Amino acid sequence: MSQVRILLRKGLLSFWRNKAAVYITFLVPILLIYLFGHVFGLYRKDSGPTGIPIAVVNLSSEPAAQKLIAALRAEKTFAVITTRDLGKGATRPLTEADVRAGLHDNWYRYALILPADLLPDQDFGVRMKFLFNPRNEIESQMVNGLLQKTVFSNVPQLLGQSLQKNARRFLGDERFKRFNRTIANTVADNFGGDRDAIYRQTIAGDFGFSDLSRIDAKPELAPPGVPTGDGPPGLRRLDQSNAAVSPSPNRKPEIETQKPADIFSRMVKIETEQVAGKELKNPMAARLVGGYAVMFLLFAVSGSVTTLFEEKDSGVFQRLLSSPVRPAHILWARFLFGVILGLVQITVLFCAGRVFFGLDIFGHAGALLAVSLSAAAACSAFGMLIAAISPSAAAANGIATFVVLSMSAVGGAWFPVSFMPDYIQRVSKLTLVYWSVEGFADVLWAGRSLLEVLPKVGILAGIAAGVMLVAVWRFNRGRLFD
């Protein structure tokens, strides 16, 4: 037993003396838990995502349209965009063409069009169009649910207005006013209240629905995991409803018209149109594979640079540096090794994505190669920086574990960035993971060309160059080559 005790003491002492092991065991998990708490918004008093941009095109002159927009603005989940910036402070209202371009270019992923016939003259009900680019599956589910909630909370008022509009057309203006005056007087006489106020409410189509709409209705999302066809799961209830709808004049084959089952939704006609990614066999995989490829690339490259320490400790550096080899040769060789390793790893992972999920990697080979190469270069430079700032291989492994996991979480490799708090979203854009994931999504989801992905390739190349410069500077001041 005493032997066990002695060996146990040895184990504890050795562990305690190995500061890198202590940090990895205690400090790194604590920091990661703290950081992930921010990423997933655990420190917020409220819950759920905020500020997801949604474009709204209002072609309707109905006051109800403005109320609906106001209701959307009141939802913290959405950042409602209704105008286009023309520069120098000038703006103009968005058009459908604007939002289609914006959806395609990923400026926003959701758009609601309130048409001129929001309340049709020849029909009783409400019409609107919802365009979306479900680049983030989870986000799409959430947005669709919240959008339904907001719209349906305001449907009674809209329907009241629609009813009055049709009544005016049917009765004529004079009889319509007399009819409503009679109703207002009857209500006031029997239930109390001001006759004129009731008349104004009635003629505006508000039959007390404004009070109903203040009752917070919960969004009705499709259950997780329920298959939804090509559309996002949040639209399932609409997709699966049975009522017939009038076809849109310019309706494309992929446009679906929904027919809700309840009393209000039977009168609400929402056309939905997926603007991008319709042709993808497995949209989720397009994002998933890219995110995980970058994370594992970071792990692989960071791990490989620790061999620099092994070579230093073994005396190989002494041998090399006493020959015509310079420190810069060693560093750049290691950087290029990381780039090649990364490129091969990404290729293998995307090939696996092709086999398992049917990812279209050959249709966009040029753009995919450019993003992969720049991402690999950025990851390799990052690995070099970790080696440059670490005093030992063990410390480098600890730092790499912490930074790779943090950067993957913050950069959106696991979880849509749009679900994170605003300040995390701003930090996200400082990470190479964000730009890599976005670059891969541009290619695999949006089918962008080489020319179109060049800005993101440029950002990644810039990150690679900048980080590598810092790494070389640190190497020159560090003790790796002592």
Partner 1 sequence: MLALRKVTKRFGPITALDDVSLEIAPGEFFGLLGPNGAGKSTLMSLVAGLRAPEAGTITLDGQPVASGASVVRRNLGLVPQTIALFPGLTAEENLRIFGELQGLRGLNLKAALDEAFAAAQLEDRRRSLVKTFSGGMQRRLNLVAALLHRPKLLLCDEATVGVDPQSRNAIFEYLQRLNRSGITIIYSTHYMEEAERLCSRIGIIDHGRILALGTLDDLLTRLPFEDELTFPANSATAPLAAQLAAVGEITVVDGTHRFRPRPGYPLSAFFALAESLGLPPRLFTSQRPTLEALFLHLTGRKLRDA
Q: Which positions lie near partner 1, rule CB under 8 A? A: 313-316, 318-326, 481-482
Question: CB 310 → partner 1: shortest distance, Å?
Answer: 9
Q: How far apart are CA 85 and CA 333, in angstroms?
A: 48
Residue closer to partner 1 (CB basis): 3 or 323 = 323
**Cα–Cα distance, 453 to 411 (Å, whole number):** 18
From the CB of 306, what's the least distance to partner 1, in Å?
14
Query: Residue 49 has what DSSP assignment?
Result: -
| Two structure tokens written together for 94 | 């968005």
Contact status, residue 152 vs residue 135, Cβ threshold 8 Å: no
Q: Which of 457, 397, 328, 319 is nearest to 20 (CA)?
A: 397
Instruction: Give strand pairing partners of 92.
Output: 84
Beta strands in 156-275 (DSSP E): 256-257, 268-274
Nearer to partner 1, 313 or 422 (CB): 313
Q: State the minimum distance, in angstroms, from the CB of residue 326 to partner 1.
A: 7
The least CB distance from residue 398 to partner 1, in Å, is: 24
Nearer to partner 1, 310 or 422 (CB): 310
- Give the shortest CB-322-to-partner 1 separation in angstroms: 4
Cβ-based burial of 105 (10 A; exposed 0-12, middle 13-18, buried ≥19): middle
Looking at the Cβ atoms of 9 and 326, the one nearer to partner 1 is: 326
**How many Å from the N-terminal Cα to the C-terminal Cα in the chain?**
45
State which residue, 178 or 326, has the beta carbon closest to partner 1. 326
132: β partners: 110, 274
Residue 57 near residue 96, CB atoms below 8 Å: yes
Of 475, 439, 141, the C-alpha closest to 334 is: 475
Compare residues 242 and 323 and give the one whose CB is closer to partner 1.
Answer: 323
Q: Which is nearer to partner 1, 172 or 391 (CB)?
A: 391
Measured between alpha carbons, how far is 135 from 444 in angstroms, rounded to an integer?
10
Give me the residues paired with residue 129 across strands.
Answer: 113, 271
Query: Which residue, chain included where needed, has tokens 């990381």?
Result: 338
Going 50 to 51 to 54 to 56, the CA torsion angle's sign is: positive
Name the minimum Å distance from CB 380 to partner 1: 21
CA separation for the pair 109, 338 (Å, rounded)? 35
Rounded Cα distance between 397 and 386, Å, is 9
Question: Contact, 236 vs 256, CB < 8 A?
Answer: no
Least distance from partner 1 to the Cβ atom of residue 311, Å: 8
3-state SS class at 126: strand
Residues 6+ apart with CB under 8 A from 423: 38
User: Which residue lies nearer to partner 1 by CB, 144 or 306?
Assistant: 306
Between residues 250 and 323, which has the closer beta carbon with respect to partner 1? 323
Least separation in angstroms between residue 220's CB and partner 1 is 59
Provide the minimum distance between the beta carbon of 319 and partner 1 in the complex, in angstroms, as a whole number: 4
Q: How far is the CB of 477 from partner 1 (least distance, A)?
A: 15
Q: Which is nearer to partner 1, 330 or 385 (CB)?
A: 330
Nearest distance from C-beta of residue 25 to partner 1, angstroms: 29
- Asked if residues 102 and 277 have their Cβ atoms less than 8 Å apart, the reply is no
Strands, E, within 4-60: which ranges? 52-58
Nearer to partner 1, 309 or 382 (CB): 309
Q: Which is nearer to partner 1, 91 or 318 (CB)?
A: 318
Bridge partners of residue 113, in order along the sequence: 57, 129
Q: What is the DSSP string of 288-325?
A: HHHHHHHHHHHHHHHHHHTHHHHHHHHTHHHHHHTTT-
CB of 347 to partner 1, least distance (A): 24
